[in-house]
Amino acid sequence: MTAAAIIIFSKTTIPAEFQNWWIGLAVVLFAIIGYIFLDKKISKREPEKFLPEAGSIFVLRFMSLEWLFNAFSFIENKIRGFVNGFSGLMEGEGGIIWAFVLLILIFSMLT
């Protein structure tokens, strides 16, 4: 449907759209062949050889980025009350006035 809309609105013909079809076909075929080749190559490996050793456990924990998610959730829990209060202040009665007051404060700090 999207391709038909593009053809109609760009005022080209259908043969012009499919002129370089072989490029897309080549990319898809290379991807399929690469997947099959890598799948066979990986399946031949011995899994015991790639189990984490004692020294690489720290690297695996660092690369999992779980520590980053924990840090962000800690920061989120600490500032949640302030953000909710500020949001309530801006959405409530007089929110436009508070927005102007903050805008004037920011401009006065920048100059």
Residues 61 and 39 in one domain: no
pLDDT of 107 reads: 92
Contacts of 14 (CB under 8 A, 6+ apart): 7
Helix residue spans in 1-111 (DSSP H): 2-10, 14-17, 21-43, 57-64, 66-91, 95-110
Residues 58 and 102 in one domain: yes
Residues 47 and 87 in one domain: no
Contacts of 67 (CB under 8 A, 6+ apart): 61
* Domain end among 18, 36, 51: 51
Q: Which domain holds residue 91?
A: 54-111
pLDDT at 6 over 60: yes
pLDDT at 40 over 60: yes
pLDDT of 98 reads: 85
pLDDT tens-digit series, residues 49-107: 655 566 677 777 778 888 899 999 999 999 999 988 888 888 877 888 888 888 999 99
pLDDT of 26 reads: 87
pLDDT tens-digit series, residues 93-106: 788 888 888 899 99
Nearest CA to 17 out of 32, 29, 5, 33 is that of 5
- Average pLDDT rounded to a whole number, residues 21-41: 85
- Quote the tokens at residue 14: 């259908």
- Average pLDDT rounded to a whole number, residues 27-40: 87
Number of domains the chain is built from: 2
